[in-house]
Chains A and B, each alone.
Chain A
Amino acid sequence: MSDVYLGGTGLACVLGDDVPSVLASLQRGGVLPTPVAVAEGIHWPVYALAPSEGDWTQRLCRTVCNVASQTGDWGARTVPLFVASSSLDIGFMEHEKQDLRLGGDLQDFAGVVARALDWQGPVFTVSTACTSALNAVLAAAELIRSEDADQALVIGIELDNRFTVAGFGAMQLLAPDRAQPFGAQRKGLVLGEAVAALRLTSRPARWQVAGGANVVDGRNPSGTEATAVHAMCRGALAQSGLQPGDIDLIKVQAAGSPVNDAIEVEALKQVFDPLPPLVSLKSAIGHTLGAAGAAELALLVGCIEGGVWPSVDYPLDASLGIALSKEAPQKLRNILLNVVGFGGGHASLVLKDAGP
């Protein structure tokens, strides 16, 4: 059995095209979402990637190559590649004529990504809505633990498409202005675009992927279930050989939903007593759906290593009885990252600082 480490990260999101530019933007106070029209007279805010030249596929390939290159040199590129996405290539399909749409299959998107990277190894697609990237990390970690691979690349991708925005809008899950996780005036989630890459490796590095858990609870397909939050946290802790008191920071789901944010807090309080410091990243980059697990992990590690921390410029909901940390905790050994999503998906990952 091999241990699994995070050997490198890459990120492009609303804040910038790489981790240094993302952190610089965060330090300046971040950026606001931009309105996206999904139908006549219907607009929703989205934390979008900066506009760039080319068609949808060209932008995909360019962004993926940029983000993957941030994780270092991959040599012959024969190790497994995991492409995690909720919307896959639906943004491309929107621009196709109706009778040409969906002529291929669900693996075509990962095939385009692999060709852009000149990837020679096995290519997997993972699509479980908002938990896609964390599930890809869990699967890649199992390959490395079992010594079937010594490295793997996980890429979470959510690019521009009206289909997803319109779908979430039709489900009445979106806020009309901006994301306010745990906010007193929170009105729903705000979607975001991102491409994030995680290099997982058996070679020791500072951050160890100590364990994780995935729990699907279909009783409430668009909501958070307290028992599933308990199960994902406890499962991730058990696989990591940790107790609740060992966790020094929780990266919360907190998408800004009036109901789900409250359920998440109550469920976390039932597992962690007292609650460790909490950090939320969705007010900075939005909810990047299938990319969220990779994008928020890359951003959080970047913040810790870069000495930058997301600010909260809106009042929190006092009834929740929580605070969001204003800086990185001084003692920061074990971090729990939680992602909860559409379809009853709940996933947790424990990241351990294995440094001296």
Chain B
Amino acid sequence: MSAWHTTAHFIAHPPPVDWRDDLARRIGRRPRRVGLWTELAMYGARCCLDAAGEAALPAGARIRVASQRGAWGATHAGLTQLDAGLPMPFTFMQSQPALMLAEVGRCLEWWGDASFALCRDAARTLQLAKLGAARDGLLFGIVEEERHGEPPRTEWWRLVPA
């Protein structure tokens, strides 16, 4: 499939002040025990799907997420806990990209092919995500926490083969 159509593109950079309330309203619950990075991913993915007019992601679609820094805050906190001899299970879980994928899937009422991959050349990451995708297409996101004055970012594309 060489030609793709963008059915929705959502960007929050930075997200609005009330984005957490907005996420809770959209998914009908407040996320529990997830870190900031995961929550940003959930918010962007849900908003992008809403913008595409899709109540749920089709089962045959795939999710791909990229991030340069990932769950920076949770990882930093986890290392500090390790230094103190008090590793906490939820902090460790929040540091893992796999947990982000699980929560994004849950908030879209979806399960299927989801992965976290990145490359210095962002275009290659997207190109790789498209390879082998089914007719249901792709939900592709880039999610970054705030860092060194750069505001948090959650940017998503809903792409389907043309």
Residues of A bordering B, CB below 8 Å: 38-40, 42, 86, 90, 93-94, 98, 101-102, 105-107, 111, 122-131, 135, 139, 142-143, 145-146, 148, 162-163, 166-172, 213-219, 221-222, 228, 231, 341-345
Per-residue A-contact encoding for B63-80, CB less than 8 Å = 1, 0 else: 100011110100110111
> At the interface, yes or no: B159 with Cβ under 8 Å from chain A?
no
Given contacts A124-B118, A166-B92, A344-B111, 16 further A-B contacts (CB under 8 A): A40-B85, A107-B68, A122-B124, A127-B98, A127-B117, A142-B131, A142-B132, A148-B127, A166-B87, A170-B92, A214-B113, A215-B112, A216-B102, A217-B111, A343-B96, A343-B100
Contact with A221, one of B88, B99, B116, B128 (Cβ below 8 angstroms): B99
B36 to chain A, nearest CB (A): 15
Interface residues of B in 97-112 (CB under 8 A from A): 97-106, 111-112
Residue numbers in A under 8 Å from B104 (CB-CB): 218
| Cβ contact of A122, chosen from B69, B114, B115, B121, cutoff 8 A | B121
Pairwise interchain contact A215-B92, C-beta atoms closer than 8 A? no
Q: Determine if A215 and B128 form an interchain contact, defined as CB atoms under 8 angstroms apart.
A: no
Chain A to chain B contacts (Cβ below 8 Å), 20 pairs: A38-B82, A39-B86, A90-B79, A98-B80, A102-B79, A105-B69, A122-B124, A131-B98, A139-B117, A139-B128, A163-B87, A169-B87, A170-B89, A213-B113, A214-B113, A214-B115, A216-B101, A221-B98, A342-B99, A343-B100
How many chain B residues touch A (Cβ–Cβ < 8 Å)? Answer: 49
**Complex: how many Å from CA A344 to CA B104?**
12
Task: Decide if B128 touches A167 in the complex (CB within 8 Å).
Answer: no
Closest 3 CB pairs of A and B: A343-B98, A218-B102, A167-B92
B21 CB–A CB distance under 8 Å: no
Q: Which of B70, B93, B106 contacts A219 (CB 8 A)?
A: B106
- Determine how close the nearest CB of chain A comes to the CB of B134; give it in whole angstroms: 11
Within 8 A of A (CB), among B31-52: none
- Closest residue on chain A to residue B83 by CB atoms: A98
For B118, the chain A residues whose CB sits under 8 A away are 106-107, 124-125
Complex contacts, A122 vs chain B, CB 8 Å: 119, 121, 124
Which one of B63, B79, B98, B128 contacts A142 once the chains associate, using CB atoms below 8 Å?
B128
- B120 proximity list for chain A (CB < 8 A): 107, 111, 123
Residue of B nearest to A105 (CB): B68
B103 — nearest CB in chain A belongs to which residue? A218
Chain A interface main SS type: mixed
Question: Which one of A93, A127, A146 lies within 8 Å of B132 (CB-CB)?
Answer: A146
Total number of residue pairs linking A and B with CB closer than 8 Å? 167
A163 touches B82 (CB 8 A): yes
Assembly CA distance A122 to B117 (angstroms) = 13
A231 to B112: give the CA distance in the assembly, Å: 9
Chain B residues whose CB sits within 8 angstroms of the CB of A231 once the complex forms: 111
> Complex: how many Å from CA A127 to CA B119?
12
In the complex, the answer to whether B86 meets A343 with C-beta atoms within 8 Å is no
Partner of A167, one of B72, B89, B111, B117: B89
- The answer to whether B102 touches A343 (Cβ under 8 A) is yes
Determine the chain A residues whose CB is within 8 A of the CB of B89 once the complex forms.
167, 170-172
CA distance A342 to B95 in the complex (A): 12
B68 contacts A39, CB within 8 Å? no
A156 to B83, CA, bound (A): 27
In contact, B79 and A123 (Cβ under 8 angstroms): no
Whether A221 contacts B112 in the complex (CB less than 8 A), given A122-B124, A145-B132, comes out as no
Kindly state the separation between the CA atoms of A215 and B111 in the bound complex, as whole angstroms. Answer: 7
Chain B residues, Cβ within 8 Å of A167: 78, 87, 89, 92-93, 95
**A139 to B101 CA separation, bound complex (whole angstroms):** 17
Q: Would you call B124 and A129 a contact (CB within 8 A)?
A: no
A106:B67 contact, CB within 8 angstroms: yes
* Pairwise interchain contact A106-B113, C-beta atoms closer than 8 A: no
Q: Does the CB pair B85–A124 fall under 8 Å? A: no
